[in-house]
Amino acid sequence: MKPSPTQLAALVAPIESELEAMRATIVEQLSDGSGAVSDMTGHVARFRGKQLRGSLVLLVARALGRQNDELPAVAAVVEMIHLATLVHDDILDGAKVRRRVASVNQRWDNQVAVLLGDFLYARAFALSTQLSDRMCSSLLAETTRRLCVGEIEQSTRRYDFDQAPEKVERIAAAKTASLYAAAAELGARYPDGSEEEAQEMARFGHELGLAFQLVDDCLDLVGNEETVGKSIGTDVADGKVTLPVLTVYRKATPEVRARIRDAYTLPELEDRVTHLAAACDLQPGIDATLARAAELADSARARLSTLPESAARQALDDLCGFVLARSF
């Protein structure tokens, strides 16, 4: 059975009070004297989402028995950067819905969404510079660089069916797994954790995040917009050749390949995913991509085996299952 939002809430129960502190920090950071900005930050606060990345900071710290009063603020910085990237991503994808409400570009317009994403990013970095250790700022600056490079590479490879599957996976890792890796690493490292644990948790976050993105790529093709809570079909509409599609394409006959390319490129097609699904059988690509995601989640789970048994370790283990089985 698919996990529900209630089950996700139960999963983060061990860190509920720190999560509340993280949420309060985000609200405080997003308030602004400008009525227009307050309207917009109020709107994005409505799309709070799963907060998996902030939870990861706090769960990893707890599982390693690490305590620090600044960790909820570190988690808030991670979540605010994530929020900024979503606001910008929805412009790039022309997405209309995010977390069940109108995306910022849809509710206002692209100009406003570019500026609001910048505002959120600026607030995140202002908060990180108030922390007693610079490590959070420097790690997340490097992470944002990698994430932007991933997005740029993805944009330049639109409609490219000749790219290698390994490259597509590396792009997914850069744009998504990098922030998961940073979140888990910060939980283990901030401000003075062991180097070995920090690196192992970064690997855990990387695998978890990549599994998340591969499932996301499948949901973009076969998910239900109501359940997923965001616009789907945007990858095909925007020319993004994701792993499930590339897998099918590489095994297809020349005729089917041509039909797949047509679904992406013929002008004025209304619903490109429906055309794509009519052009080929997407299921083997979905199955192979979900199998790869399961392999990554298993590998992530195995990295938890050296941690002492605790509710937080169990929650991290459950997260590995959650990213695979999620439908939202």
User: Which two tokens mark 257?
Assistant: 């390949």
For residues 104 and 112, is the Cβ–Cβ distance under 8 A?
Answer: yes
Residue closer to ligand FPP, measured from CB, 79 or 89: 89
185 binds Mg ion (CB under 5 A): no
216 binds Mg ion (CB under 5 A): no
* CA nearest to 179, candidates 305, 47, 55, 90: 55
For residues 188 and 198, is the Cβ–Cβ distance under 8 A?
Answer: yes
Q: Which residues bind ligand FPP (CB under 6 A)?
A: 84-85, 88-89, 92-93, 95, 117, 121, 144, 147-148, 151, 175-176, 216, 220, 230
The distance of closest approach from Cβ of residue 308 to ligand FPP in the complex, given in angstroms and rounded to an integer, is: 32
How many angstroms separate the Cα of 328 from the Cα of each of 1, 99, 279, 323? 13, 9, 26, 9
Size of the site for Mg ion (CB under 5 A): 2
The distance of closest approach from Cβ of residue 61 to Mg ion in the complex, given in angstroms and rounded to an integer, is: 29
How many angstroms separate the Cα of 167 from the Cα of each of 7, 160, 175? 34, 11, 12
220 binds Mg ion (CB under 5 A): no
Q: Which does 269 bind (CB under 5 to 8 A by kind): Mg ion, ligand FPP, none?
A: none
Residue closer to ligand FPP, measured from CB, 21 or 86: 86
Residue closer to ligand FPP, measured from CB, 21 or 52: 52
How many angstroms separate the Cα of 169 from the Cα of each of 48, 153, 177, 211, 238? 27, 12, 10, 10, 18
235 binds Mg ion (CB under 5 A): no
Q: Which does 200 bind (CB under 5 to 8 A by kind): ligand FPP, Mg ion, none?
A: none
Q: Which does 148 bind (CB under 5 to 8 A by kind): Mg ion, ligand FPP, none?
A: ligand FPP
* Contact partners, residue 322, CB within 8 Å, separation at least 6: 3, 7, 8, 11
Residue closer to Mg ion, measured from CB, 190 or 328: 328
What is the 8-class DSSP label of residue 100? Answer: T
The distance of closest approach from Cβ of residue 68 to ligand FPP in the complex, given in angstroms and rounded to an integer, is: 26
The distance of closest approach from Cβ of residue 27 to ligand FPP in the complex, given in angstroms and rounded to an integer, is: 20
For residues 174 and 147, is the Cβ–Cβ distance under 8 A?
Answer: yes
Instruction: Give residue for tokens 């390319």.
Output: 261
89 binds Mg ion (CB under 5 A): yes
- Among residues 79, 93, 217, 317, the one that binds Mg ion under rule CB under 5 A: 93
Query: Which residues of the shown chain bind Mg ion in the complex (CB under 5 A)?
Result: 89, 93
